[in-house]
Amino acid sequence: MTDTLRVLLCTSEAVPFAKTGGLADVSGALPRALAGQGCDVGLMMPAYRSVPRDDLEAVAAVRVPVGPQTHEGRILRGVMPGTTIPVYFVEHPAFFDRPGLYGEGGRDYPDNLERFAFFCRAAVEYIRQAPRRPEIIHCNDWQTALIPVYLTTTHRDLGPIGTLFTIHNLAYQGLFPAEQFGMLGLPPDLYGIDALEYWGQVSLLKGGLRFADLLTTVSERYAEEIQTEEFGCGLEGVLRHRRDRLIGILNGVDYGAWDPAHDPHIPARYSAEDVSAKARCKEHLQREQRLARDPRAPLIGMVTRLADQKGLDLVAAVIEDVMARGAQFVLLGTGDPKYHQLFTRLRGRYRRQMAVTLSFDDSLAHRIEAGADMFLMPSRYEPSGLNQLYSLRYGTVPIVRRTGGLADSITDCTSETLAAGTATGFVFTPYTPDALRQALERALSAFADPAMWRRLQQAGMRADFSWARSAARYVEAYRGAREMLSVSLGTPR
């Protein structure tokens, strides 16, 4: 063992190649931060349609059985832009050359189990051939959860490779009908409640939770929450059983991509030293979103997947009051058709005060961060949350629910925290329209007091959530996983 850790991060999405949510930001930024910590790091992900093919080199062919069929795939090697970090794309056009990553039109692809079983098995098959094996494989969410299972069962001969499994969102479990278990090529006894069975279905996520050497999740608060019935999605028992192997590490921010001082997507640049150009960003946003061009109207932004998790029912319940207070609301989001309908309907009622864009638009996400005064995240649960961290840097004061990473990163504005200079946002606790309404009310009153608002903005803009600190904690965890390799292989932990 050398002191330079060789780490392979396996993920189903990564910026700048493919993104549906926060996992892509993390997978794009963490490898750079790990390289900065002296790790020898590589990234592995599917070769989706959105991955540019120029400059990729085929480095291996893999033959992977999935069910009765053997699939042929290739490993294409590229690099993370602007770095020498290798990226290994698993290519199999029938599985990955599609318009979506996991589905289309709000519906999952029916062959997702085969697609991601293929991806996981291709990853371990490639490791067999690779000139240098990683010491640690860092897996993320259900799409990569089979890797620790294969490594400790069918692919034990690869020798000890430490695995760390990160839960980015416990609610997405990769659940499939029991009949599909046979496709995975695993010993039949792994379809049992101590391994991959979850109430009569196959849970890929559970495989990761049982078989990885170490588990992490994306905030300390969420690490505690998921051990309870309320947040555990039925897996709280499994997580409590492994709590000595579970740690929370808050996601960081890639300030190379998210900083108003040098953001190419926004119309004017600004920083904590001189925030004045933020007003131009607001004016630009009001113009492009066809809102009334009023610098004094508080502008509330929201950029989110439109999913039940995100507290959109609360937003709908309070929107009338918010509009009555003369505020403006800009939403960018895509997801569940029921929310597409809901916000299209609401927008029809408040044309000059409300703008709704129902698509995925990274550049607009940046302009909303810069142009809004406040950023709304009333999530039912939020493992880490990134947008509240981006908002801090953009001087856009977050209004959040006290859960997961939101609770760990935003300090509620009270007379004490304001006096101490630590207040960064508005936090509410019960998941009710009333509690959200009160938080909004407090935020709108603070906005009417420019000196107070400036204090809040300054505290947020100066906060540091860069990746370096979180990456150092991952390195510590990898070292821990490497040390655990002597632990017996082949049984669920």
Give the residues lining the site for ligand ADP (CB under 6 A). Answer: 21-23, 25, 303-305, 332-334, 360-362, 365, 384-387
CB of 18 vs ligand ADP, minimal distance in Å: 12
Dist CA 410 CA 137 (whole Å): 32
Shorter beta-carbon distance to ligand ADP: residue 269 or 305: 305
CB of 393 vs ligand ADP, minimal distance in Å: 13
Shorter beta-carbon distance to ligand ADP: residue 152 or 409: 409
Dist CA 193 CA 199 (whole Å): 8
Dist CA 208 CA 173 (whole Å): 10
Residue showing tokens 């801090």: 392
Shorter beta-carbon distance to ligand ADP: residue 25 or 373: 25
Give the pair of three-digit tokens for residue 100.
């979506």
Q: How far is CA 397 from CA 39, 273, 298, 424, in A?
A: 35, 17, 11, 7
CB of 250 vs ligand ADP, minimal distance in Å: 11
Shorter beta-carbon distance to ligand ADP: residue 154 or 309: 309
Which DSSP string do the residues of 410-450 spell out, in sequence order? --B--HHHHHHT---BEEE-SSSHHHHHHHHHHHHHHHTSH
Angle at 401 between CA 399 and CA 403, to 5 degrees: 140
Dist CA 218 CA 13 (whole Å): 16
Dist CA 325 CA 328 (whole Å): 9
Rg (CA), the chain: 23
Dist CA 341 CA 33 (whole Å): 40
Residue showing tokens 């939020």: 382
Dist CA 347 CA 215 (whole Å): 42
CB of 474 vs ligand ADP, minimal distance in Å: 17
Which residue's beta carbon is nearest to the bound ligand ADP?
22
Shorter beta-carbon distance to ligand ADP: residue 118 or 467: 467
CB of 485 vs ligand ADP, minimal distance in Å: 31
Shorter beta-carbon distance to ligand ADP: residue 274 or 362: 362
Task: Return the bridge partners of 222, or none.
Answer: none
Dist CA 72 CA 89 (whole Å): 14
Dist CA 323 CA 489 (whole Å): 59
Shorter beta-carbon distance to ligand ADP: residue 309 or 438: 309
DSSP 379: -
Shorter beta-carbon distance to ligand ADP: residue 162 or 385: 385
Shorter beta-carbon distance to ligand ADP: residue 151 or 377: 377
Q: Are 184 and 117 in contact (CB under 8 A)?
A: yes
Q: Please report the beta strands in 324-394, taking only residues with DSSP state E, as ranges in sequence order.
A: 328-335, 354-357, 374-377
CB of 361 vs ligand ADP, minimal distance in Å: 5
Shorter beta-carbon distance to ligand ADP: residue 78 or 385: 385
CB of 343 vs ligand ADP, minimal distance in Å: 12
Shorter beta-carbon distance to ligand ADP: residue 115 or 380: 380
CB of 301 vs ligand ADP, minimal distance in Å: 10
CB of 311 vs ligand ADP, minimal distance in Å: 12
CB of 403 vs ligand ADP, minimal distance in Å: 12
Q: Are 120 and 196 in contact (CB under 8 A)?
A: no
Q: Angle 433-447/312-324 helices, nearest 10 degrees? A: 40
CB of 365 vs ligand ADP, minimal distance in Å: 4
